[in-house]
Amino acid sequence: MTKMIFVNLPVTDLTRSQAFYEALGFTNNPQFSDDTTACMVVSETIHVMLITHAKWQGFTNRPIPPASSSEVMLALTCYTRDAVDAMNAAATHHGGTADINPVQDLGFMYNRNLADPDGHVWEAVFMDMDAMPTD
């Protein structure tokens, strides 16, 4: 079996969050979705589990951080610089916030940060390893 990662995120409005992630290009896997959870597929090995607060609290008694916090930044590679820009544009148009941190353009690497409607932070990044400085 190939190793996979499931990123679990507590969300306040499951329908809104599912629509947001679909706008970013993720697809829903109904096999692992119900009225409390939406499994959003990024790739064959990466899935984002959107979980209502009520269900989340059944997994842990730790508090859900406020949307203004940064508990983690999830970096996702994009195939082009334009794809990085498109991901941020989609975030803005579907209830998220683009460019929550300064844009980084190092020539060989370009990234922009966005937040989903619940404040979860994502970094869309393009890297051209052939253009990376060698020294």
Superfamily of domain 1-58: 2,3-Dihydroxybiphenyl 1,2-Dioxygenase, domain 1 (3.10.180.10)
Burial class (CB within 10 angstroms; exposed 0-12, middle 13-18, buried 19+) of 134? exposed
73-118 pLDDT tens trace = 999 999 999 999 999 999 999 999 999 999 999 999 999 999 999 9
As a whole number, mean pLDDT of residues 31-44 equals: 97
pLDDT of residue 66: 87
pLDDT of residue 71: 82
Query: Which CATH number, 3.40.50.920, 3.40.50.300, 3.40.50.620, 3.10.180.10, labels domain 70-135?
Result: 3.10.180.10
Q: Which residue ranges make up each domain of the chain? A: 1-58, 70-135
Helix axes 14-23, 81-93, angle to 10 degrees: 150
67: confidence class by pLDDT, cuts 50, 70, 90: confident
pLDDT of residue 70: 81
